[in-house]
Amino acid sequence: MEKYNKLVSNKTRDRLKSKFKVCRNGPTNSYTVSSPIGNIVITSCPKGLHTVGQADDVTDENFHPESNITVKLIGQQWSDNGYTYKPALLCIDWIKVYFINPKETLKTSLPPFCSCISSVSGSYREKVWKTLAEQVPVGSTISYGELAKLTGNPHASQAVGSAMRNNPIQLLVPCHRVVRSNGSLGLYSNGTRNKVKEWLLMHEGISDFKKM
């Protein structure tokens, strides 16, 4: 495997360091995985995932998906004698399935998420992420208002938007399936990766959205 520092930009490393405090479940490690949409960085502790997301250098300007790229582990921050946390391995397996045939993820269990991804256990933001991951399957989209209704709080569209902007688990918590009520995409990753969102939706067989 290539050295982690060569695979991950300084910006990505700094973001991962500042994302969470020391996890009470044990030390974290970051893993870099190749994929058709560019390298994906997974951060995990022994108990669950902390973050899953594209490397920070991926933007609309340089996004060039390559469907022939195989999903595989290509680097990790700490070697630790080659040991890889089980949640990270399960995540890599899930991502492999997603890029081969996204509908097969309906039969694939999500890897565990670390409880530290939410600052307060049982918070509304955590409820939004859980609802989205469990009730908005591959091949479907949902508006911010509809997702708010699913969580039992129909007037919380803005809070849903905040949860999407702060979603730490890309793909598995599918914020790319959340669109505006008029069918337009909204601003994926603060508007820097709208082409990525388009590609993901089309990969899942969805084309009835308004392109940017």
Cβ pair 9, 26 in contact under 8 A: no
For the record, the structure tokens of 104 come out as 């097969």
Cα 107 to Cα 128: distance, rounded to the nearest angstrom: 22
Catalytic option among 45, 91, 116, 175: 175
CA atoms of 48 and 45, how far apart (whole Å): 6
Determine phi and psi for 118, rounding to 5 degrees. -110, 135
- How many alpha carbons lie under 13 Å from residue 134 in its C-beta half-sphere? 9
Determine the Cα–Cα distance for residues 23 and 86; give it in Å rounded to an integer. 16
Phi-psi region of 191 (alpha: psi -120 to 50; beta: other; left: phi over 0): left
Tokens of 27: 């030390």
Respond yes or no: is residue 45 known to be catalytic: no
Q: Does residue 50 sit in helix, strand or coil? A: strand
Say whether 105 sits in a helix, a strand or coil.
helix
Sign of CA dihedral 160, 166, 172, 176: positive
Q: Which residues are catalytic?
A: 175
